[in-house]
Structure 1
Amino acid sequence: MNAGTFNDTSTFPDPVYKETVLRPLFDGAKDHHVEGFRLIDRAHLVMLHETGILTIEQARPIAQALEDIDREVDVGTLTYTGEVEDFFFLIEKQLRTRLGPDLAGRLHTARSRNDIDHTLFKIGLKHRIDPLLERLVHLAETLASVAERESRTLIVAYTHGQPAQPTVFGHYLSAVLETVLRDIARLEASRDIVDRSPMGAAAITTSGFPIDRELMAHLLGFSRPLQNSYGCIASIDYITSTYSAIELIFLHLGRFIQDLQFWTSFEVGQIYVPNAFVQISSIMPQKRNPVPIEHMRHLSSQTVGRAQAMLTIMHNTPFTDMNDSEGESQGFGYGAFESGGRGLALLAALVPSLRIDAGRVRQNIRRSCITVTELADSLVRLEGLSFREAHEIAAEVARAIVAIGGDIAADGYAAFREAFRRCAGRDTTVAPDRFAEIVSAENFVAVRDRFGGPAPKALSQAIAGYNQDIAAIRARMQDAQRRAQASAQDLQSRFNALLGAR
């Protein structure tokens, strides 16, 4: 049915639509995408001229008008009036005012708001991924440094919330670091997806004009064009991959942060947080509250929630260009970078300041008998017992020591000798001093000199490998930065050539 049948006298935009949709979209573009619009206009103009689609007589006045708009229009002071639909049409209106409709309209040859929008969003994401990646790599460097510093510092490792085995703080931090490095790899992989230019896809199917998509990708600082033009405007995996990576980063860091909260509790107390990161109760003068840990936890949770929300927004949307993935959703997602960046900065500042309370660690090791696993292992090696027999003997020793609140090294030999005789049917060959050495925390760590273990040699080799991995990440980041700078300089140079002498 023809719309004219209804005698429709309404005019665009409806006032409610203007206030609920168009104004927020305009303000979002004004806040987040002005520089992206500027770059796209300039790069597209350069490409149109260099491919012969526009002559220099056409391109030069357009370039000069774009310069004038940059100089004369203070975007920050603009208020949406509804006279134009969005920020794109505002720029086009400014061009028409300066050049007239024919010449002004030539800038939009062979492009669409579809490919422009997704290019804007990718530029916006890259400008946020890179600082987040920088903070994440800085955290990795910090963890590696502190792991090396604490490579011989004993701690109690917990499983199921209970003391399990002794290890060193550097070994624990290295486990966190390995996860961070894998998270960095996921974020780098998502950045690679973001770093493919949609420009030249136009609305859906590219263009009949002889456009140069590789040139556009280069001038805008992308590594290459995204190939399939339908996918350029439909495949939003650049969004989902980015926010999936962010969600996992902060989900994983949240578990580390929760350990810090647990280990700083009065009952455990193996980590000391310095005064610079402690707030005192307003009513209880004895309390030292390491509340930055709580702030890191809720910042991580907020970031996970915001990233997860972005995935939910994309769920069950059609495989085409659609507003669900565009302006307002993009602006919403940027909150994940803000909260995540704050959390990473705070965590990287806190970790080097942490100190292990060696006295409390010794006390917890003594009270929990967590070295008896090595007693069982040693009996297998020294006495030729099966592990199950050795485990039974070690369990009896642990029960006896816990019952008297004793120290296994000082008080456990008698119980060990009796348990050994009862289970093995003979006397042990392990002397008291050898027994004390076997059940010491230092020995427990030292004998675990296997790939990935906490002993000094194995841990030192691991940290050296992590540092190599971090250096390689740094090199890739620097390469990307150099390429972006070269692209920006090349665009400026080519645009200046269009301007010529004024």
Structure 2
Amino acid sequence: LGRNDLLELTHFACTSEDINNLSYAITVRDAVQQVWLPRVEKLLTKLRELSAEYADAAMLSHTHGQPATPSTMGKELAVFIHRLERQVKRIENGEYLGKFSGATGTFSAHVVAAPDVNWTKESEDFVTGLGLTWNPLTTQIESHDWQAELYSAVTLFNGILHNLCTDIWSYISMGYFKQIPVPGATGSSTMPHKINPIRFENAESNLELSNAILGSLASTLITSRLQRDLTDSSSQRNIGLGFGHSLLAIDNVTRGLNEIALSREVLGIDLSDNWEILGEAIQTVIRAEVAAGRSSISDPYALLKELTRGKRLSGDDMIAFVNQLEIGEEAKARLLTLRPHTYVGLAEELAKRVQK
């Protein structure tokens, strides 16, 4: 360019970390904002779509693997949407810090070379001009705390998504979701009937790998001996790998959600086979009636425990039991109209809370 007079100003008063920390911050910021977050939003959009579609789809819940108070599939998906969105907000609001203050963060070379310059202001203006948050107090390196915060939030997001994968896998195994055959796909080399939930299994593996990498970065990058050691240099070369595994998982979950459909028939059968779950409703209503002075039944919980624990009861069994209860007529009528598929409380309403 014919400006040899500027050669000596190249890398003026800088340490390599002055360059590298800004480069990493810009690279990670752009990767998160331009690639990772848009993929996450695509996933959340699909989840919201399914949650809305299945908001009223009553299903038997399972606590400890055993039949429990019903919910709806839409509400259960909404739980994951809410959890994931909380982490997304943390990530969206995160800071990307940068420093530009020399060999030990003191501007020593800057000041001795040009004492009349306001170096802290020049540094702040330069760093913020790159769209980063200026870190005024560092050693030779930017302290990487913002990276630890970001990677911790991403690993938590990954962990929640991993939980979604294991739940969807379980619902498929139970027949609650049926898998839509993909033309040309093979589920087994010897069992031609099989359709395996490979999207969710693949996602689980990639989420675990992502968390191993990002979790390691979050815990190690915050430590640097005295004013600088070189451990972070090797570690940071794996940032892209950690996000890459997360992206693979997000894409697989999104594809997997597009390849399943709810089996309302199976949900209905499961509910009809488990009338004993209404024991909770009955004992709670009796207790309310006792408190209101409309019943004198003693220990309603024990009464329903004796009736239902470890047993399969039919609708007729439960109706006959309710009919002989000494409770108010309004409460009795309420219980007599209750069915496993209607005992879902506010589940449908709750499912709608995650819709935009």
TM-score normalized by structure 1? 0.61
Query: Which of 66, 76, 99 is the aligned partner of 1:198?
Result: 99
Map 1:298-447 onto structure 2 (within 5 A): 298-314=205-221, 316-326=223-233, 328-368=234-274, 369-381=276-288, 384=294, 389-399=299-309, 402=312, 406-407=313-314, 409-417=315-323, 420=325, 426=326, 429=329, 434-442=334-342, 444-445=343-344
Distance 2:10 2:298 in 1: 80
Q: Report if the CA contact (8 A) 2:59-2:72 is conserved.
A: yes
Distance 2:204 2:2 in 1: 54
**Identity of matched residues, %:** 17
The one-letter code of the counterpart of 2:150 is T
The number of aligned residues is 341
1:146-171: CA deviation from partner (whole Å, max 9, x where unpaired):
21221111122221122211111111
The one-letter code of the counterpart of 2:283 is A
Q: Which residue of 2 aligns with 1:256?
A: 164
- Aligned: 1:291 with 2:182: no
- Aligned pair in 2 of structure 1 residues 386, 61: CA closer, same or farther (>3 Å)? farther
Distance 1:353 1:433 in 2: 43
- Aligned pair in 2 of structure 1 residues 432, 179: CA closer, same or farther (>3 Å)? closer
Q: Which residue of 2 aligns with 1:105?
A: 8
Shift of 1:291: 1.5
Q: Report if the CA contact (8 A) 1:300-1:343 is conserved.
A: yes
TM-score normalized by structure 2? 0.84
Q: Report if the CA contact (8 A) 1:135-1:345 is conserved.
A: yes
Q: Which residue of 2 aligns with 1:127?
A: 30
- Aligned: 1:226 with 2:135: yes
Shift of 1:311: 3.2
- Aligned: 1:136 with 2:40: yes
Distance 2:296 2:82 in 1: 35
Shift of 1:312: 4.5
1:178-207: CA deviation from partner (whole Å, max 9, x where unpaired):
110111123234x41x2x331344552122
Q: Point out where structure 1 has 5 or more consecutive residues left out of the alignment.
A: 1-59, 63-98, 421-425, 468-502
- Aligned pair in 2 of structure 1 residues 110, 392: CA closer, same or farther (>3 Å)? same
1:448-498: CA deviation from partner (whole Å, max 9, x where unpaired):
34xxxx143x443x234xx2xxxxxxxxxxxxxxxxxxxxxxxxxxxxxxx
Secondary structure of the residue aligned to 1:147 is: helix
- Aligned: 1:213 with 2:123: yes
- Aligned pair in 2 of structure 1 residues 294, 348: CA closer, same or farther (>3 Å)? same
Q: Point out where structure 2 has 5 or more consecutive residues left out of the alignment.
A: none
Shift of 1:279: 4.3
- Aligned pair in 2 of structure 1 residues 427, 225: CA closer, same or farther (>3 Å)? closer
The one-letter code of the counterpart of 1:256 is L
- Aligned pair in 2 of structure 1 residues 400, 203: CA closer, same or farther (>3 Å)? closer
Map 1:141-220 onto structure 2 (within 5 A): 141-189=45-93, 191-192=94-95, 194=96, 196-201=97-102, 203-206=104-107, 207-208=110-111, 209=114, 210=117, 211=119, 212-220=122-130
- Aligned pair in 2 of structure 1 residues 434, 216: CA closer, same or farther (>3 Å)? closer
Q: Which residue of 1 aligns with 2:155?
A: 247
- Aligned pair in 2 of structure 1 residues 292, 385: CA closer, same or farther (>3 Å)? farther
1:121-173: CA deviation from partner (whole Å, max 9, x where unpaired):
21221122222122223322322222122111112222112221111111111
Distance 1:337 1:317 in 2: 23
Q: Report if the CA contact (8 A) 2:155-2:215 is conserved.
A: yes
Distance 2:333 2:297 in 1: 22
Shift of 1:216: 1.5
Shift of 1:400: 8.7
Q: Report if the CA contact (8 A) 1:118-1:233 is conserved.
A: yes
1:408-456: CA deviation from partner (whole Å, max 9, x where unpaired):
x3442224456x4xxxxx58847997544223321x12xx34xxxx143
- Aligned: 1:463 with 2:350: no
More off after superposition, 157-166 vs 426-435: 426-435
Shift of 1:351: 2.5
